[in-house]
Chain A
Amino acid sequence: MADAVFLALSVITIGSAIAALELRSLIYGSIALMGTLGGIAGLFLLLDSPFVAMFQIAVYVGSIAVLILFTVMLVKRELIFKKIEDKRRKFAGIGLMLVLMVGLGSVILDSGIKSITTDEPAVDFRDIGADFLTYYWPALILMALILAGSVTGALVLARREDVGNEQRAN
Chain B
Amino acid sequence: MSVIAPKFKFSEFVKSILDNLFWFLLIFALIGVPLVQIILFYVEMPVINGELLTPFLALTWLADPSRTLPILKAFMTTDLFRIAAFPGFGFAALLAAGTIFVERKMLAKLQLRVGPFYCGKIEGILQLMGDGLKLLSKEIIIPAKADKPIFWAAPVIFVGAAAAFVALIPVAPGWVVADVDVGLLAVFAVIGFFPIITILSAWSANSKFPFIGGIRALHQMVSFEIPLILSLLGVVILTGTLNLSEIAASQSAFPWIVFLPVGAIVFFITILAELERIPFDLPEAESEIVAGWLTEFSGMMYGLVQLGTYLKLYAFAALFVVLFLGGWNGPMIWPPFPEEIITKGIEAGPITVQIPGLPLFSQETLNGIVWFVIKTVGVIFFILLPRGVFPRIRIDMLLSLGWYKLIGMAFINIFIALGLLYAGVLGPGGML
Contacts and interface: CB of A to CB of B under 8 A. Distances in A.
B182 A62 contact: no
Q: Is the interface of A mostly helix, strand, loop or mixed?
A: helix
A69 B196 contact: yes
B51 interface: no
Interface stretch (A49-57, A95-103, A108-116, A133-141): A49-57
B185 A66 contact: no
A88 B366 CA distance: 70
Given A61-B196, A62-B192, A50 B218 contact: no
A92 B192 CA distance: 37
A55 B185 contact: yes
A107 interface: no
Contact of B203 (A62, A65, A73, A125): A73
A62 B196 contact: yes
B198 to A, nearest CB: 10
B249 interface: no
B182 A58 contact: no
B185 A51 contact: yes
A46 B242 CA distance: 20
B189 A57 contact: yes
A61 B185 contact: no
A31 interface: yes
B400 interface: yes
B182 A66 contact: no
A66 B199 contact: yes
Given A31-B200, A66-B199, A125-B182, A54 B218 contact: no
Nearest to B190: A57
B45 interface: no
A54 B186 contact: yes
A132 interface: no
A27 interface: yes
Contacts of B100: none
B273 to A, nearest CB: 16
Interface in B150-190: 150, 180-182, 185-186, 188-189
Contact of B188 (A27, A50, A58): A58
A66 B222 contact: yes
Contact of A62 (B193, B199, B215, B394): B193
B396 interface: yes
B230 to A, nearest CB: 13
Contacts of B211: 73
B397 interface: yes
A61 B211 CA distance: 21
B185 A69 contact: no
B195 interface: yes
A31 B201 CA distance: 12
Contacts of B180: 50
Q: How large is the interface on A (under 10, 10 to 19, 20 to 34, 35 or more residues)?
A: 20 to 34
A45 B290 CA distance: 42
Given A58-B189, A66-B222, A50 B196 contact: no
B396 A169 contact: yes
A73 B218 CA distance: 12
Contact of A50 (B182, B192, B200): B182
B188 A66 contact: no
B203 A51 contact: no
A55 B399 CA distance: 25
Contact of A54 (B188, B394, B400): B188
Contact of B192 (A58, A125, A169): A58
Nearest to A69: B199
Contacts of A34: 196
B423 to A, nearest CB: 19
Interface string B222-253: 10010000000000000010100000000000
A73 B196 contact: no
A169 B403 CA distance: 12
Nearest to B194: A62
Contacts of A125: 182, 242
B405 to A, nearest CB: 12
Contacts of B399: 169
Interface in B134-155: 147, 150
A63 interface: yes
A58 B240 CA distance: 21
Contacts of B242: 125
A51 B185 CA distance: 8
Given A126-B240, A169-B399, 4 more contacts: A50-B180, A50-B181, A69-B199, A69-B203
The 5 closest A-B pairs by CB, nearest first: A62-B192, A54-B185, A57-B189, A169-B396, A58-B189
18 contacts: A27-B203, A51-B182, A51-B185, A54-B182, A54-B186, A55-B185, A57-B189, A58-B188, A61-B192, A61-B196, A62-B225, A69-B199, A73-B199, A73-B211, A73-B215, A126-B240, A169-B397, A170-B400
